[in-house]
């Protein structure tokens, strides 16, 4: 085995992870859309803000719906990031560079022409938004979570439509 070349066991594990994530992605995406639908057909910002800022015991059901949205956003974005990293590892685009591993993976897929520059920027913003929601929650405004939710929904759908045909070729390689 050449220096720096991944082990066969690693490639097999990455391939299995990608396949499992691709198989489960539609369910996770549907969970996101279902959680969003609790706030009206068009994911109404006013309804979302009211539920997000709920403090009374009788409003906790609505607040739990906000938490369902947040969890679904995190899950979908994690899947997209994991798929990007796994795809870059399997297909060979370099993960060198600056930023987090998912950000480097999105850039690597952009450089490999899997995604365009605009989608790459959106995916990086979506990843940053996921981190904000999960790690800076007390300081995060309802409007920021709402925007992040819309961004993750759009960017993940666009990512999967470009990623799936590209990665399927690499899933058959040893």
List of domains in the chain: 8-171 (1.20.120.580)
What tokens does 91 get?
A: 């297909």
Please give the pLDDT value at position 92. Answer: 79
User: Which of 12-21, 132-141, 150-159, 164-173 has the lowest average pLDDT?
Assistant: 132-141
pLDDT at 174: 60
Q: What is the dihedral of CA 45, 51, 41, 129, to 10 degrees?
A: 60
pLDDT, tens only, 11-49:
899 999 999 999 999 999 999 999 999 999 899 999 999
The DSSP call for residue 55 is: -
Distance of CA 74 to the CA centre of its chain: 7
């Amino acid at each position: 085995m050449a220096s720096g070349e991944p082990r066969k066991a690693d490639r097999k594990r990455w391939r299995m992870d990608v396949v499992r994530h691709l198989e489960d992605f539609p369910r996770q995406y549907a969970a996101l859309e279902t959680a969003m639908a609790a706030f009206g057909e068009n994911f109404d910002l006013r309804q979302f803000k009211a539920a997000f800022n709920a403090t009374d015991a009788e409003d906790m059901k609505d607040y739990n719906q906000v938490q369902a949205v947040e969890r679904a956003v995190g899950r979908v974005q994690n899947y997209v990031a994991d798929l990007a990293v796994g795809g870059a590892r399997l297909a060979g685009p370099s993960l060198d560079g600056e930023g987090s591993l998912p950000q480097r993976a999105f850039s690597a897929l952009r450089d490999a022409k899997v995604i365009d520059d605009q989608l790459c920027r959106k995916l990086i913003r979506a990843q940053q938004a996921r981190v904000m929601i999960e790690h800076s929650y007390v300081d995060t405004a309802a409007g920021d979570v709402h925007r992040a939710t819309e961004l993750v929904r759009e960017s993940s759908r666009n990512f999967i439509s470009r990623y799936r045909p590209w990665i399927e070729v690499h899933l058959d390689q040893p």
